């Protein structure tokens, strides 16, 4: 895999902020992966996304996009990227179709927005004023807006926040389709179920600093207590016993139990991503 974004020692503060919001972060995003930026509220995730999409420019450090300094790219950079902002922004007096037509007019490449709206269960709302949309409808339309220039890289800031599980599933499937077609995704989310279903690698951000990049599965192994819990029946009734996953195949007691008794359940003890989030970020106030 090649490196798509290479972020080195990124430091940023807003004109009005008293201290640095990003405190020298470094990470890479590989081409063709779904990369998750996770962290508690106020950590600096949306700020990082805004810098990567060239909305905020006054930063220190270096960002390379496809091997070239991001600062050297002109407007053609916007042809490459699709952005789903944290707060959906549309013209309320215009219909969904008119909104999409307007935003599409900025780009050379286009995607069939009507087909995408239909996939997102917005078929009946295409000619409705966006001001009459529910919150979840606006979030879905925001996703269409991110895709409308058929981008190479998709930036999604909490793409499933505030929508129902069925529509969230549709969005996640569309994100996975996008990846299958070779696209790269930079996603920010608080929903660990999204991370589990989508992300190849994640990085945790706390107070403007980041940890090491890791695959969700590896994090679970690293933080998991790696125990196996067996529930089984013996003459006295239901019993429950825990074993270390390590060398389980040679654990006589375990082997004895599974060969002699009726097993009710066996579970491996894995720490959930929610627990890992709290451990890593110390975010008890989330």
Ligand X SMILES: Nc1ncnc2c1ncn2[C@@H]1O[C@H](COP(=O)(O)OP(=O)(O)OP(=O)(O)O)[C@@H](O)[C@H]1O
Contacting ligand X (CB under 6 A), which of 44, 82, 84, 159?
A: 44
47 binds, among Mg ion, ligand X, none (CB under 5 to 8 A by kind): ligand X
Contacting ligand X (CB under 6 A), which of 45, 140, 152, 220?
A: 45
CA atoms within 13 A on the CB side of 145: 26
106 is a site residue for ligand X (CB under 6 A):
no
Give 7 or 125: the residue with its C-beta nearer to Mg ion. Answer: 7
Give 23 or 179: the residue with its C-beta nearer to ligand X. Answer: 23
Give 42 or 131: the residue with its C-beta nearer to ligand X. Answer: 42
57 is a site residue for ligand X (CB under 6 A):
no
Please, which residues have CB within 8 angstroms of residue 279's CB and are 6 or more apart in sequence? 223, 271
41 is a site residue for ligand X (CB under 6 A):
yes
16 binds, among ligand X, Mg ion, none (CB under 5 to 8 A by kind): ligand X
Give 14 or 233: the residue with its C-beta nearer to ligand X. Answer: 14
Binding region for Mg ion (CB under 5 A): 45-46, 86
Instruction: Give the binding site for ligand X (CB under 6 A).
Output: 14, 16-17, 21, 39, 41-47, 86
């Amino acid at each position: 895999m090649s490196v798509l974004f290479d972020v080195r020692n990124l430091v940023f503060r807003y004109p009005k902020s008293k201290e640095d919001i990003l405190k020298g972060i470094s990470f890479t995003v590989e081409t063709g992966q779904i990369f998750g930026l996770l962290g508690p509220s106020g950590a600096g995730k949306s700020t990082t996304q805004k810098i990567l999409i060239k909305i905020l420019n006054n930063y220190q450090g270096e960002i390379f996009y496809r091997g070239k300094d991001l600062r050297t790219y002109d407007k053609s950079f916007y042809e490459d990227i699709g952005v789903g902002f944290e707060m959906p922004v549309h013209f309320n007096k215009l219909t969904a179709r008119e909104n999409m037509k307007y935003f599409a007019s900025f780009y050379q490449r286009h995607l069939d927005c009507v087909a995408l709206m239909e996939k997102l269960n917005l078929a009946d709302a295409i000619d409705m004023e966006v001001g009459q949309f529910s919150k979840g409808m606006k979030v879905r339309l925001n996703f269409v807006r991110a895709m409308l220039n058929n981008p190479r890289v998709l930036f999604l800031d909490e793409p499933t926040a505030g929508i129902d599980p069925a529509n969230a599933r549709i969005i996640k499937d569309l994100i996975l389709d996008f990846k299958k077609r070779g696209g790269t995704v930079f996603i920010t989310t608080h929903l660990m179920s999204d991370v589990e279903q989508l992300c190849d690698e994640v990085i945790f951000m706390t107070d403007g600093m980041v940890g090491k990049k890791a695959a969700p599965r590896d994090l679970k192994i690293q933080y998991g207590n790696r125990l196996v819990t067996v529930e089984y029946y013996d003459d006295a009734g239901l019993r429950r016993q825990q074993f270390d996953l390590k060398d389980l195949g040679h654990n006589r007691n375990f082997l004895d139990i599974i060969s002699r008794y009726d097993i009710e359940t066996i579970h491996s003890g894995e720490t959930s991503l929610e627990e890992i989030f709290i451990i890593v970020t110390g975010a008890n106030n989330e």
